[in-house]
């Protein structure tokens, strides 16, 4: 029964995969949405480095960050598919001859 879903050796790997998926989804959705909100211009980074304000508020820069967000969401969904693809199917019934 080595390598089946029920073995304890697979659970740490699956747990880290799930943590990675959640992390990528959170970062991806944040980078996808937050640069386009009204809160983007009111943050600590702009007050710390005022010379970066023009870049920080530039639409192209926001688009690049949103692109990174899309990439993170894509990575998360590809990891979900990878987990599903390598899952060992459980037989619904056994045939005895």
Our CA dihedral for 66, 67, 73, 77, rounded to 10 degrees, sits at 160
Residue in the structure block whose two tokens are 């508020």 = 57
User: For position 14, what pLDDT does the model report?
Assistant: 87
Q: Is residue 17 part of a domain?
A: yes
Report how far apart, in Å, the C-alpha atoms of 93 and of each of 2, 3, 96 are. Answer: 20, 19, 10
User: For position 13, what pLDDT does the model report?
Assistant: 85
Q: Is residue 60 part of a domain?
A: yes
3 neighbors 88 (Cβ within 8 angstroms): yes
Our count of domains for the chain comes to 1
Q: Which tokens is 73 given?
A: 């969401």
- What would the pLDDT profile of 14-61 be if each residue is shown by its tens digit? 899 999 999 999 999 999 999 999 999 888 888 888 898 899 999 999
55 neighbors 7 (Cβ within 8 angstroms): no
Statement: residue 64 has pLDDT above 90? yes
Q: Is residue 29 part of a domain?
A: yes
Q: Is residue 26 part of a domain?
A: yes
User: For position 43, what pLDDT does the model report?
Assistant: 82
Mean pLDDT score, 3-12: 65
Domain span at residue 80?
11-85
User: For position 1, what pLDDT does the model report?
Assistant: 47
Q: Is residue 90 part of a domain?
A: no
């Amino acid at each position: 029964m080595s390598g089946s879903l029920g073995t304890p050796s697979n659970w740490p790997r699956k747990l880290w995969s799930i943590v990675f998926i959640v992390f990528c989804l959170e970062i991806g959705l944040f980078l996808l949405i937050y640069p386009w909100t009204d809160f983007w211009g009111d943050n600590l980074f702009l007050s710390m480095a005022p010379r970066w304000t023009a870049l920080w508020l530039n639409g192209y820069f926001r688009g690049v960050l949103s692109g990174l967000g899309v990439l993170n969401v894509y990575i998360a969904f590809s990891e979900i598919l990878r987990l599903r693809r390598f899952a060992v199917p459980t037989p619904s019934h056994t045939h005895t001859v």
